Structure formats: C-alpha cells, structure tokens
Structure 1
Amino acid sequence: MSELRFDGRVAIVTGAGGNPGLGRSYALLLALRGAKVLVNDLGVGPDGRGMVGGGADKVVQEIIDAGGEAMSNGDSVATASGARSIVDAALEAWGRVDILINNAGVAPFALFDEISEDDIEKVVGVHLFGHIWMCRAAWRPMKENGYGRLVNVSSGVAVRGLAYQSIYAAAKLGVVGLTRTLAAEGHSFGIRANVIMPAADTLAWQTMLEPSFSEQARENGLTPESVAPVGAWLAHESCPYSGKVFQAQGGTIRELYFARTNGIGGTDGRLTLEAVAAQSAEVVDRTGSEVVPDPSPEIPDHMKPKRYRDTPRT
C-alpha cells in the first residue's frame, strides 16, 4: 500500500499539548503526513486544575522543526463560543476544516459520593459538551465542503466501568451515542464519524497514578505513539467506516460492537413481572446473540418528527 498522506487537509486536534500525550501524537503524525494542524490546549493539568501552559506552543514548534505547518490555540472546548473560536482560527488561517480529533479531556479521580459538583460539571463540560460544541462548530464548514472526518475520543472505562471514574465514564459513553448519530446524519454530506477508545501511558497517568503503573504500561507498549496510527487512519479519506467504535492500545486495534440477546417474550408483546423474574437467565444468555446494526442514514418517515417529513436534507 502506498503511503497514506493528508496533503491539503486541515486538522484540529484538541487537548494536544500534553507530553507524553495522545493529542500530541495525533497532531505530530498528521503533520508528518502533510496536514496543516491546529494544536489546541487549554493549558490545565490532567485533573483540570492548575495551569501548565506552553504545551500547545511546544508541539507546534516540534511540527515546524520537522518541516510541517501548525498553529496553537488556547480556547476551551467546554463552551460553544470557545469551540467556535477554535474552528474559526483554523478557517481564518487555512480556509477549511477537514479533520477534527476531539481529544481534550480531564479526569479527576474520586468516588461517586465524594466528587465535587464543580468537578462533575467540569468533566461533563469538557468531555461530552466539548464533543458536542466542537462537532457543531466544525459541522457547517465540513457540510459546505462535502467532506469531513470526526474522530471522537471515548474510553474503555465507559463500557466496563471503573471505580473513581463514574462521571468520566458517563460522559465518555455519551460520546459514543453522539458519534453514532452524527454518522447517520453526516452520511449524505460526506462526513464520517467514528470513536476511538485509546489506552496509553500519558501525562495524566504519570500525574495521577502510581509510578509503577506507568512503568508497566510502557513495558507493555502502551504508548501514545502506538495509538496514533489508529486515530490518523480514522481521519483519513480512505477510511470507509462511520459510526464504529475502535479500541486501540499497545499496537493493537479492535472493534467494539453492540449485541443483544434473543431474550424472552411472545408475539403478543405481553410480559408479566413473574415471567421476567422466572426467565431472567434466558434474558442474559448470550448464546446466538444478534449484532446491533451500525447507524443507518436511511430514516423511515414514521421515525421522523413531523417538521422533517418529506423535507429534503440540505
């Protein structure tokens, strides 16, 4: 296969100032392959506190030193105005936005009944609303150009659960639902949207977890650089998929998909409380499970709100 490149493409990578960091690795790889990259980072610590500063500028300088083209941005993804400012900066500099990798995030560790209300709002604001605002801001220019690649970052924590990360997991699973719907809506506009669930030793891990955990992760190949090719592939024009979820870690990539059991129930659509209780083992029996279909751009008229029926999509 010939080298996959991004010449002429403009990419935005949020939360890309950390070193080591996934965002930085995505930005460096895209730039190395020819993309113009806006490197966004608010400059706070991995837990959302303090001011680190300078990270985005350093990544930009790395790109420039390697012969690429990049610019830094310090606006917040957690507000609609901040997201618009990020996208507008790329449009003003390069006239288009082709790729958006929503990597920005904070992850304060706390038990569910102990996490502060401020941290709850911060986590949901950056992760879930950050994806919503950034995708909305990029949607219009992508739609006008008839092309776009959205790479939304979730986490395996969202599907398997992890103590101390309840709010983070809730927001990250919301990212999956958002992305699958955008895949359906974006199909006719040339916009593809996928989810990446990465695992890598980053500044967040090194800051908030025991050093031994970080060391072990590195020994097992869990580096940002091992994940970056997956994010870049999802951002490439040749990627044929949309609405899918991919897990990436340690040089591996897997699809995570949804399935449902055969369950119980008759054709009359009736169940009793006692029947559910008595046959619950059959409900959770995964033998012969059916894969839930990928998002479809075809929406039956009866599923559309009245105002959208028989209305051409523009």
Structure 2
Amino acid sequence: MMKAKVVVVTGAGGGIGREIALALARHGASVVVNDVGTSATGEGRDRGPAESVVEDIVRAGGKAAANTDSVADAGTAARLIQCALDSFGRIDGVVNNAGILRDRFFHKMSPDEWDAVVKVHLYGTYHVSRAAAPHFKEQGGGAFVHMTSTSGLIGNYGQANYSAAKLGVVALSKSIALDMEKFGVRSNCIAPFAWSRMTSSIPVNTPEEAARVERFKQMTPDKIAPLAVYLLGDASSAVNAQVFAVRNNEIALMSQPRPLRSVHRSEGWTAESIATHAMPALSASFVPMERSGDVFSWDPV
C-alpha cells in the first residue's frame, strides 16, 4: 500500500511510533525514523532508539534513515523534513507522534510543565506539518496523520497541558485539511489506546486502577499501525479531516463539536431570562463531566 512513498514518523524510537514505522516499511515505504531519545518526560538525548528501529527495518529488507532533530523548534523540524528529501528524494507522508508527559493537577502545574508538553505535542505537530506542507502542495498530494488523545477529546485528571495540546492538534488537523484539500493533501487524527512508555506512568493506587492498567496492557502499540498505514496510502483518498480512536481490535469514528440544542427569544436575552428559561431548557442536553475511562468503559476485545 505504500510502495515508493516516503514517510516521516516522529517519536518513532519506541511504542506506537516504532510500530507505525515498521509497518510502513513492510508495506513498501521508505521511512525517516525520528526520535530525540528522551525520557517520557522529555529529558536527555540518545540517538540509539532511532538507529535501532532503522536497523530493524533494514534487516528486514526495508529502507529507513535515522533522525534525532527536535520537533519542538521550527528550524530543527525543517531539518527533519530535509532529511527525508536528502535520504529518499521526496516526502509523501508525516506521522506526528512525538510526545512527552508531565502530569500534574492544574492548581499545581508549573509554567515549565505546561510549556514543555505543549511545545512537543502542539507546536511540534505544527512545525513538522508546516515544513512538509510546501512540498505536498508542489507535488499535488500528501497525507498527515496526527496523534491526538481522548484526554483532549473527552478529558482526564491531571493532564491540562497534554489535554489542551491534544485537542489543539485536532483543530490544527481540521484547518490543514480545509486549507490544503485543493492541493490533494489530507489530514486526519488517531486517538490511540495502547500500553507504552508514556502510559506506563498511569498511577496505580487502588485495586480498580490496577485492574484498569492490566486491561490497558492488552492494547499493544502494533494495533494502531494498520490504521496509520491506511490513512497514509492512496486507498484513503476520500478520508479527510476525521478523528478515529483505536482500542485493541476496535476502530471508532469520533464525533466533532456540533450544536446539540438551541433556544431562541425574539426580544433577546437578559441575564435573568437566561437563568429562568435558557439554561433550564438547555440543561437536559448538557455534556456530562466525564473522563476518557467513563466514556470508553467497556473492556477491549
């Protein structure tokens, strides 16, 4: 499905990114394996993870190049895309997967914890996508796959930085799809459920939390890769501006914000009439204050 295509995968040194890179190579793509080799919280630097994945791909007969540029900076993100051009002569797809976590309850979250996560997830998605966009426009085609999260789509405790960035990625993806559809460019999102180095930081303080983590471990990163490969290939030419969730063997199409209910008053509204009429009429349709686990409450199969 990916023969002769060149794809950049960020954060591909392990977990979901690694499995996507391996799957792309198996389907014929040349892959730029990008990973700065940091810890799950963004510290340190190690070329080893990216090079290890490249070795696995080459050993299996595929084509790959390692890259350790940071996605959080416009200049280094541009170097990442240039790596694809230098290594393989073109760029056909981007998987924005790189990420870090610095979980903290909102009232305790520091500016550094906010900035670090938003820069990698949201700014990183922008920088890499922006660097690839002119090449997609010039050649009349290309595909973006961005990793979002149900922490942003629905909500979660202690992840204001991550949730805000991941919901921002969805809006960015939609904007890219709208702006670049006329050039044959597609942009879609995946909200993955998978046990990885990042999700291994989930706290386990109760038997219920421990059981949830055990269920989570069933959802391996390789389950995400097939959808990413499909969305990057020509077979998905009619799929654009969508958000999917993947849980084990299940793929879900996620809703996007639309009006649920409205009220009208010909003479206009006052604060008092809103209190006595508008809110009582609308409240039956209020979106509940749920977390991701409340909405995805059934066990994956």
Q: TM-score range, shorter-chain basis?
A: 0.7 to 0.9
Give, in angstroms, the shift of residue 163 of structure 1. Answer: 1.2
Match of 2:104 in 1: 110
Map residues 299-310 of structure 1 onto 2, 5 A cutoff: none
Asked if structure 1 preserves the Cα contact closer than 8 Å seen for 2:193 and 2:216, the reply is no
Which runs of 5 or more structure 1 residues have no equivalent in the other structure?
288-314
SS at match of 2:107: coil
SS at match of 1:38: strand
TM-score (norm 1): 0.84
SS at match of 2:32: strand
Aligned-partner Cα distance in 2 for 1:272–1:233? 51
Q: Say whether residues 1:159 and 2:157 are aligned partners.
A: no
Q: Deviations over 1:148-170 (max 9, x none)?
A: 10001110000221111001100
- The letter of the residue matching 1:226 is K
Map residues 218-229 of structure 1 onto 2, 5 A cutoff: 218=217, 221-229=218-226
Aligned-partner Cα distance in 1 for 2:202–2:285? 37
Match of 1:91 in 2: 85
When structure 1 is superposed on structure 2, of 116-125 and 28-37 the one drifting more is 116-125
SS at match of 1:238: helix
Match of 1:301 in 2: none
- The letter of the residue matching 1:242 is N
Return the match for 2:243 from 242, 245, 248. 245
SS at match of 2:61: coil
Aligned-partner Cα distance in 1 for 2:155–2:186? 28
Aligned-partner Cα distance in 1 for 2:222–2:146? 18
Q: Say whether residues 1:235 and 2:232 are aligned partners.
A: yes
Q: Say whether residues 1:66 and 2:60 are aligned partners.
A: yes
- The letter of the residue matching 2:184 is G
Give, in angstroms, the shift of residue 231 of structure 1. Answer: 1.4
SS at match of 1:63: helix
Match of 1:257 in 2: 255
TM-score (norm 2): 0.88
Aligned-partner Cα distance in 1 for 2:173–2:108? 30
SS at match of 2:146: strand
Higher helix content, 1 or 2: 2
Match of 1:8 in 2: 4
Map residues 125-274 of structure 1 onto 2, 5 A cutoff: 125-207=119-201, 209-210=203-204, 212=210, 214-218=213-217, 221-239=218-236, 240-258=238-256, 259-266=258-265, 270-274=268-272
Sort the Cα spacing of 1:27 and 1:33 in 2 relative to 1 into closer, same or farther, 3 A: same
Which runs of 5 or more structure 2 residues have no equivalent in the other structure?
287-301
- The letter of the residue matching 1:186 is M
Aligned-partner Cα distance in 2 for 1:91–1:51? 24
Aligned-partner Cα distance in 2 for 1:26–1:276? 50
SS at match of 2:198: helix
Give, in angstroms, the shift of residue 113 of structure 1. Answer: 2.4
Report how many aligned residue pairs link the two structures: 278
Aligned-partner Cα distance in 1 for 2:193–2:185? 26
Sort the Cα spacing of 1:267 and 1:35 in 2 relative to 1 into closer, same or farther, 3 A: farther
Identity %: 35
Aligned-partner Cα distance in 2 for 1:130–1:282? 42
Aligned-partner Cα distance in 2 for 1:201–1:123? 19
Q: Deviations over 1:171-223 (max 9, x none)?
A: 111101111111111110000001111110001123554494544322xx311
- The letter of the residue matching 1:174 is G
Aligned-partner Cα distance in 2 for 1:285–1:91? 54
Asked if structure 1 preserves the Cα contact closer than 8 Å seen for 2:47 and 2:68, the reply is no
Sort the Cα spacing of 1:262 and 1:146 in 2 relative to 1 into closer, same or farther, 3 A: same
Asked if structure 2 preserves the Cα contact closer than 8 Å seen for 1:205 and 1:214, the reply is no
Aligned-partner Cα distance in 2 for 1:91–1:155? 30
4+ runs deviating over 4 angstroms: 207-214
